[in-house]
């Protein structure tokens, strides 16, 4: 397990309250649950912006310790069925969210539109809820994932109503696949974001009002 103490941003710190750090509060999932597969695109140009995202220096999945324990149970359950998780994104630095916001405000930068948001106008990304100034990912208890090998009907980070978990615009099998993921995640303490089939947050997350900003690196 890689553990470091790095700077972070917190919100609503209270007097006499222990300050959490990457060292004490987060787990390196790549090391802790090696059976999970990863496709961490924000370190690359293969994402909706088309360039590496601020704060993503290495493709490492950090999650809070509590979230890591719950995710390990999901992986163990799937392995009994001969399946496993494929993870796209985990903890996200606030500086990465700020990068998303700057990009969304640049209406002229649409080089990845045909792949990631072909049916949505870029000027509507804020209004439609695809981009926001704060993300639950920065609290360390949200993870974007799929079941490896399952056809979910849209790619990860596809900004479109078809990505809604219960969308009827996908095939019956694709919808069933989404429900398999939803069921195993919910059984292990996660809640789905209805607009994104891949997006899950641990119920009772450790830091509901804290948005961290440490860089993703060893």
For residues 118 and 116, give the distance between their C-alpha atoms in angstroms, rounded to a whole number: 6
C-alpha closest to that of 70 among 209, 202, 208: 202
For residues 184 and 92, give the distance between their C-alpha atoms in angstroms, rounded to a whole number: 23
- As to burial, measured by CB atoms within 10 angstroms (0-12 exposed, 13-18 middle, 19+ buried), residue 97 is buried
Q: What DSSP line would sit under 24-37, residue for residue?
A: HHEEEHHHH-TTSE
For residues 63 and 86, give the distance between their C-alpha atoms in angstroms, rounded to a whole number: 15
Active-site residue set: 196
- As to burial, measured by CB atoms within 10 angstroms (0-12 exposed, 13-18 middle, 19+ buried), residue 108 is exposed
For residues 147 and 141, give the distance between their C-alpha atoms in angstroms, rounded to a whole number: 19
**93 to each of 10, 58, 62, 66, 198, how far by Cα in Å?**
12, 12, 10, 19, 19
C-alpha closest to that of 70 among 164, 185, 156: 185
């Amino acid at each position: 397990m890689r553990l470091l103490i790095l700077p972070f941003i917190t919100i609503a710190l209270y007097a006499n309250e222990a300050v959490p750090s990457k060292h004490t509060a987060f787990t390196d999932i790549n090391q802790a649950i090696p059976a999970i597969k990863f496709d961490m695109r924000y370190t690359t140009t293969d994402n909706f912006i088309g360039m590496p995202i601020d704060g993503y220096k290495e493709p490492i999945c950090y999650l809070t310790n509590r979230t890591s324990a719950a995710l390990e149970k999901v992986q163990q359950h799937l392995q009994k069925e001969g399946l496993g998780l494929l993870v796209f994104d985990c903890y996200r630095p606030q500086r990465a969210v700020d990068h998303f916001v700057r990009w969304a405000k640049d209406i002229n930068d649409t080089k990845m539109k045909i792949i990631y948001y072909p049916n949505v106008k870029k000027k509507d990304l804020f209004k439609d809820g695809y981009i926001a100034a704060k993300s639950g990912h920065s609290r360390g208890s949200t993870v974007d994932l799929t079941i490896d090998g399952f056809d979910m009907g849209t790619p990860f980070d596809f900004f479109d109503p078809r990505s809604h978990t219960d969308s009827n615009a996908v095939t019956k099998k694709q919808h069933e696949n989404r429900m398999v993921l939803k069921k195993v995640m919910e059984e292990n303490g996660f809640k789905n974001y209805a607009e994104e089939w891949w997006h899950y947050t641990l119920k009772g997350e450790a830091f509901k009002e804290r948005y961290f900003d440490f860089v993703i690196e060893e």
